[in-house]
């Protein structure tokens, strides 16, 4: 990876003397921004550009090189990669489009590119990308003629869209920020988000890592790498509402939409998720300051109105404003001119005209143990204050790092003075209190993750039971999806309690089973055509006697096509139902879900998800995060529900999904919780396996 960013020599392939040649822009960027390594131009027509000879082939380049930047028609690139291999070049940036995104013809070229890179042992970024930048050594290889170099800094930007990435890089030209490395990854045919994250975590010149992604290639690996990172990772994941969706076969799949799973992965890995470039800048500014160790803030403002706005933002983002120590207030009063402002927290500094006093007050506030950070709002329209303002803000930045507490500076000043602040300050600042608190909220989200014990990387859960292996083999031999009785059998093998049940194919068998179980009972049609039995009249409940059983048996048999049998179950009476489900996401792997269940789950949408497998602590936390968790406690004469039953089911289902990749979806819906608080029983389950057609 190092040679992508620190090559001793760069070969730019696709250069000509033509005025509209984009390869010339790459040469121009390298020359203009001070790349110190050797630059070689390659193009079939030869010639010269910016004093550099254009060689007609990569093989004609006289010197060794570490990196090739390729911008030619796609059909020529497999051969160019082969030439690079012969020349000993092991790294390439392929900026050309015309591959898989262009249909079957592009797919064919893509296949040839893969073969050539594999034969040559070449790793490449792209294709269909803008290129990469390392501000540390002047390595600028985008095919766009950049007007100026970016401010050097500590933020690295990885973007699937070159346009979005360059926009973010431009916005980093702010105090306390700046760009370290930029990579446009395009189609991600070889190097992907996980590869680059793993490199940047170890990169000494990167402190904050930003990703703009439209999809994931290796989402689970990306999350696991981010989990191990001691550097903040900020993600802007777009393409959240595709126009087409695969119709889900289970409640779990319907509830576990892709974008919700991205949120789950971010929570698991401590990734700060943002929704726009603007929000990304807020997050980067916030994270570039010392991290909050709590939610208690002090607000200092030269304007009472701005203090009110800031107080509203405190409430919106659930920050607290504890009382300031009387000695702090006394110190502030000592510098007041008129003494007509009521003071507290927020602390209105409008009656103090000596700006040099502000850092003194801020410092004694930082010394108060229960204050975790300060929001300082500087309001000024007077040019005469400009120099003192700059000095105040510099001193506040020093105090922030001295006490390891963030001081968020809001500069409510004329736009002309903003530009001066950008040139003078090395500490981030904000345009208004709303921006400042959005940044603090994003920072706090990350700070909480850093302060708590991180979860272990999820590994193989447990040795798969032989009985479960036998179950899967039996289903695969039948060549169809599991039916209800087979799915219930799987739960029994996992040790998840089920309501007493029996699969019967004759009414005589049903009558015998009902007599042995005791009435009332439930009957459920078993048919490959049934998804939700209650919607299609395939279920009858609370059957109290043999006469009703016979009548309903005949009714279901005549109504449902393709019935292969009936599951007869003991009727379980309870008031609370839970869904425990799982699905296999194509990017993040197995995901487990639980929520308030039954037929209302898709209506209420009260469900939580985690990446599987989960342990008992994670399962318990999922329960606690339900909006309707109170219903699981003592409620209207019912005892508290048996949480152990939910936890056991969650853990076992998550382990099954992690260790048995053949299972694509699973619904235990509902898991009925006893009103007396003693147990929980699964009464219905659906399992979808891969590589089996219904």
Q: Average pLDDT, whole number, for the chain?
A: 91
pLDDT band per the 50, 70, 90 thresholds, residue 598: low
Last residue of a domain, one of 451, 473, 490: 451
| Average pLDDT of span 3-9 | 97
Q: Is residue 486 part of a domain?
A: no
| Average pLDDT of span 675-680 | 89
Q: Are residues 214 and 154 in the same domain?
A: yes
Residue 127: asked if its preceding bond is cis (omega within 30°), the reply is yes
Q: Are residues 281 and 311 in the same domain?
A: no
Q: Are residues 20 and 114 in the same domain?
A: yes
Tell me: the pLDDT tens digits for 255-307?
445 888 999 999 999 999 999 999 999 999 999 999 999 999 999 999 889 99
The pLDDT score that the predictor gives to residue 339 is 63
Last residue of a domain, one of 80, 107, 139: 139
Q: Are residues 560 and 428 in the same domain?
A: no
**Quick one: tokens of 504?**
């019967």
User: Over pLDDT 90: what percentage of the chain?
Assistant: 76
In 3D space, the residue among 443, 406, 405, 491 whose CA is nearest the CA of residue 284 turns out to be: 443
What are the angstrom distances between the C-alpha of 213 and each of 192, 285, 405, 471, 496? 10, 21, 32, 40, 39
Is residue 206 predicted with pLDDT exceeding 90?
Answer: yes
Q: Are residues 253 and 301 in the same domain?
A: no
CA-CA distance, 619 to 604, in Å (whole number)?
20
| Average pLDDT of span 317-325 | 96
pLDDT band per the 50, 70, 90 thresholds, residue 246: very low
**Element containing residue 576 per DSSP (H, E):** strand 576-585
3-state secondary structure of 347: strand
Is residue 69 predicted with pLDDT exceeding 90?
Answer: yes
The pLDDT score that the predictor gives to residue 241 is 67
Percentages of the chain per state (helix, strand, coil), in multiples of 5: 40, 20, 40
3-state SS of 488-515 is HHHHHHHCCCECCEEEECCHHHHHHHHH
Q: Is residue 59 part of a domain?
A: yes
In 3D space, the residue among 216, 177, 157, 189 whose CA is nearest the CA of residue 77 turns out to be: 189
Return the CATH number at 250: 3.40.50.261
Q: Are residues 544 and 593 in the same domain?
A: no
pLDDT band per the 50, 70, 90 thresholds, residue 537: confident
Q: Is residue 617 part of a domain?
A: yes
pLDDT band per the 50, 70, 90 thresholds, residue 600: low
Of residues 631 and 241, the one with the higher pLDDT is 631
Tell me: the pLDDT tens digits for 609-662?
999 999 999 999 999 999 888 889 997 788 999 999 999 999 999 999 999 999
pLDDT band per the 50, 70, 90 thresholds, residue 242: low
Are 563 and 654 in contact by the 8 Å Cβ rule? The answer is no
Return the CATH number at 557: 3.30.1490.20
The pLDDT score that the predictor gives to residue 251 is 44
Q: Is residue 473 part of a domain?
A: no
Q: Are residues 304 and 447 in the same domain?
A: yes
CA–centroid distance for 168 within its chain: 18
pLDDT band per the 50, 70, 90 thresholds, residue 452: confident
Helix segments in 483-615, DSSP class H? 484-494, 507-517, 546-559, 601-604
CA-CA distance, 675 to 661, in Å (whole number)?
36
pLDDT band per the 50, 70, 90 thresholds, residue 536: low
pLDDT band per the 50, 70, 90 thresholds, residue 244: very low
Tell me: the pLDDT tens digits for 383-425?
888 899 999 999 999 999 999 999 999 999 988 898 899 889 9
Q: Are residues 298 and 442 in the same domain?
A: yes
Q: Is residue 145 part of a domain?
A: no
Q: Are residues 666 and 608 in the same domain?
A: yes
The pLDDT score that the predictor gives to residue 250 is 47
Q: Are residues 231 and 188 in the same domain?
A: yes
Are 389 and 374 in contact by the 8 Å Cβ rule? The answer is no
Return the CATH number at 34: 3.40.50.720
Q: Is residue 341 part of a domain?
A: yes
The pLDDT score that the predictor gives to residue 596 is 86
Is residue 96 predicted with pLDDT exceeding 60?
Answer: yes
Q: Are residues 298 and 444 in the same domain?
A: yes
Strand order in the sheet with 91-94: 48-49, 52-55, 38-42, 9-13, 67-70, 91-94, 123-125
Tell me: the pLDDT tens digits for 98-141?
888 888 888 999 999 999 999 999 999 999 999 999 999 999 99
Of residues 603 and 181, the one with the higher pLDDT is 181
Is residue 464 predicted with pLDDT exceeding 80?
Answer: no
pLDDT band per the 50, 70, 90 thresholds, residue 604: low
Q: How many separate domains does the chain show? A: 5
Last residue of a domain, one of 236, 266, 288: 288
Ramachandran angles phi, psi of 477, nearest 5°:
-65, -35
Helix/strand number for the chain, H first, E second: 23, 29
| Average pLDDT of span 529-552 | 82
The pLDDT score that the predictor gives to residue 529 is 74
Expressed as residue numbers, the domain containing 279 is 150-288
């Amino acid at each position: 990876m190092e040679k992508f960013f620190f090559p001793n020599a760069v070969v730019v392939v696709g250069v000509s003397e033509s005025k509209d040649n984009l390869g010339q822009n790459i040469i121009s960027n390298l020359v203009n921004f001070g790349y110190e390594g050797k630059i070689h131009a390659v193009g079939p027509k030869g010639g010269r550009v910016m004093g550099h000879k254009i060689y007609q082939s990569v093989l004609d380049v006289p010197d060794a090189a570490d990196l090739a930047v390729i911008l030619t028609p796609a059909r020529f690139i497999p051969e160019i990669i082969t030439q690079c291999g012969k020349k000993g070049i092991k790294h390439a940036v392929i900026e050309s489009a015309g591959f898989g995104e262009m249909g079957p013809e592009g797919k064919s070229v893509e296949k040839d590119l893969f073969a050539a890179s594999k034969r040559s042992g070449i790793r490449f970024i792209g294709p269909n990308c803008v290129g990469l930048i390392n501000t540390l050594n002047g390595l600028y290889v985008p095919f766009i003629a950049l007007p100026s170099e970016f401010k050097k800094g500590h933020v690295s930007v990885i973007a699937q869209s070159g346009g979005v990435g360059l926009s973010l890089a431009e916005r980093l030209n702010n105090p306390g920020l700046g760009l370290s490395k930029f990579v446009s990854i395009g189609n991600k045919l070889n190097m992907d988000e996980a590869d680059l994250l793993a490199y940047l975590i170890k990169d000494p010149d990167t402190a904050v890592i930003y990703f703009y992604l439209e999809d994931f290639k290796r989402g689970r690996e990306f999350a696991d790498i981010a989990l191990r990172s001691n550097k903040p990772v900020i993600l802007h994941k777009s393409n959240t509402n595709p126009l087409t969706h695969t119709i889900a076969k289970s409640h779990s799949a319907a509830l576990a939409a892709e974008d919700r799973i991205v949120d789950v992965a971010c929570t698991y890995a401590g990734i700060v998720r943002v929704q726009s470039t603007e929000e990304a800048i807020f997050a980067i500014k916030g994270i570039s300051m010392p991290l909050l160790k709590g939610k208690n803030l002090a607000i200092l403002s030269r304007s009472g109105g701005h203090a009110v706005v800031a107080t509203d933002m405190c409430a919106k983002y659930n920050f607290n404003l504890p009382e300031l120590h009387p000695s702090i207030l006394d110190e502030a009063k000592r510098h007041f001119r008129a003494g007509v402002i009521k003071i507290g927290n927020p602390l209105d500094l409008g009656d103090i005209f000596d700006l040099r006093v502000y850092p003194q007050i801020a410092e004694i506030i930082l010394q108060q143990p229960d204050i975790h950070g300060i929001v300082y709002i500087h309001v000024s329209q007077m040019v005469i204050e400009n120099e003192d303002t700059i000095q105040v803000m510099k001193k506040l930045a020093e105090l922030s790092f001295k006490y390891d507490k963030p001081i968020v500076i809001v500069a409510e000043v004329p736009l002309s003075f903003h530009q001066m602040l950008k040139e003078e300050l090395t500490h981030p600042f904000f345009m208004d209190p709303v921006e400042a608190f959005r940044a603090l909220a994003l920072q706090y989200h990350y700070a909480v993750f850093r302060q708590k014990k991180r979860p272990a990387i999820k590994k193989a859960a447990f040795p798969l039971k032989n009985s479960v292996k036998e179950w899967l083999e039996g289903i695969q031999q039948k060549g169809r999806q599991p039916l209800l009785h087979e799915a219930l059998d799987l739960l029994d093998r996992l040790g998840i309690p089920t309501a007493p049940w029996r699969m019967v194919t004759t009414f005589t068998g049903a009558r015998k089973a009902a007599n042995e179980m005791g009435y009332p009972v439930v009957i459920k049609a078993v048919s490959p055509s049934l998804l939700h039995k209650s919607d299609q009249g395939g279920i009858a409940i609370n059957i109290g006697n043999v006469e009703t059983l016979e009548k309903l048996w005949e009714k279901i048999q005549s109504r449902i096509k393709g019935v292969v049998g009936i599951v007869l179950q003991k009727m379980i009476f309870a008031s609370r139902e839970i869904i425990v489900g799982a699905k296999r996401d194509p990017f993040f792997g197995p995901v487990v879900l639980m929520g308030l269940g039954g037929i209302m789950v898709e209506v209420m949408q009260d469900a939580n998800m985690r990446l599987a497998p989960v342990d008992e602590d994670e399962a318990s936390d999922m329960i606690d995060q339900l909006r309707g968790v109170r219903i699981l406690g003592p409620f209207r004469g019912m005892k508290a529900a048996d949480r152990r039953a939910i936890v056991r089911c969650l853990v076992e289902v998550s382990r099954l999904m992690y260790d048995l990749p053949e299972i694509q979806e699973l619904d235990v819906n509902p898991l009925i919780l006893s009103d007396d608080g003693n147990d929980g029983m699964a009464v219905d389950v659906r399992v979808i396996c891969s590589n089996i057609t219904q």
